[in-house]
Amino acid sequence: MMTGEAPLNTRRSSNEAAPPGFRALAEYITRELGIKMSDAKVPMLQSRLARRLRALGLDSLEQYHRYLVSSEGAAERPPFFDAVTTNKTDFFREPQHFRYLVESALPSLDPGSDRFWNAQVWSAGCSSGEEAYTIAMTLGDFGAARQRFDFSILATDISQRVLQAGMDAIYEKPLIAPIPEELRKRYLLRSRDPADELYRIVPALRSRVRFSTLNLVGPEYRVSQSFEAIFFRNVMIYFDKPTQERVVCRLCRHLRPGGYLFIGHSESLAGLDVPVRMVAPAVYRQALTGEP
């Protein structure tokens, strides 16, 4: 049964008012996830939530919002987060960052080749794992040259669906195209069935990456360690300025002195009061102990 509210597949003109319930749901998304939701996002939101509404037997965004915030709606939050978050990533995306990591960032933090070093890196907003495994491949090669070196990577996201994909670590052939051939030979296993054209990250590399659920605008970060580097790339574009500043400051509390923050090349920290300074395009560094 349809109510008098706009059906989900209705196309909207630029002058058409948002359907009932959109604004309340948009405000909920911003409050819970930090994602800006203008009226221009109505078609996107309707499209992404259509399956959830059908599964729940609901007719409108208004009904869906009421259910989501009700005492019965707690179980709906994970699939809701899966539906409304954008998960776009690639292996070796913005490759200059990975060169900077091993050519400049890590050497500046190296405690000395005579000392064992367990470097830690955080992929915040990791999506389906391509960024985290790219970091792992990069650090694997760095460690082969440095000796007495190990590393671990924390990979976090709000979406359970993409976290599971990252833990599975299985990728189709088109997705691995950006990985250099020599790294494919070292770090990928091909499916036994050639027709599948599926590849999986080798166990030794998978063991270095820990996937965990984390909401960047949530009340707390259950993260205890400090990191040599944090990759927080192409996430801020979905936040307003106050949320960007708040999240970056929270992330920087988990950088070791002199640690590095990598953001997307389409992003900027200009105008934000944050405790890092730019040292390269889209690369920022926290001051060392004793530095101003």
Catalytic residue among 12, 23, 48, 200: 48
Q: Taking the CA atoms of the chain, what radius of gyration do you get in angstroms?
A: 21
Q: Any idea which residue has 């000796």 for tokens?
A: 147
Query: Do the Cβ atoms of 253 and 225 come closer than 8 Å?
Result: no
Phi, psi of 189 (to 5 degrees): -115, 135
Catalytic residue among 157, 206, 208, 285: 157
Give start and end residues of each alpha helix (H) in the chain: 22-33, 42-56, 61-68, 77-84, 96-100, 106-109, 130-146, 160-168, 181-187, 203-206, 241-252
Q: What is the DSSP string of 162-184?
A: HHHHHHHTEEEGGGGTTS-HHHH
Long-range contacts of 49-53 (CB under 8 A, 24+ apart): 49/8, 49/80, 49/83, 49/84, 50/8, 50/9, 51/83, 52/76, 52/79, 52/80, 52/83, 53/8
Q: Any idea which residue has 């460690």 for tokens?
A: 143
| 285 is annotated as an active-site residue | no
| 114 is annotated as an active-site residue | no
User: Which of 188, 190, 141, 132 shows the shortest CA–CA distance to 162?
Assistant: 132
Which residue numbers are catalytic? 48, 157
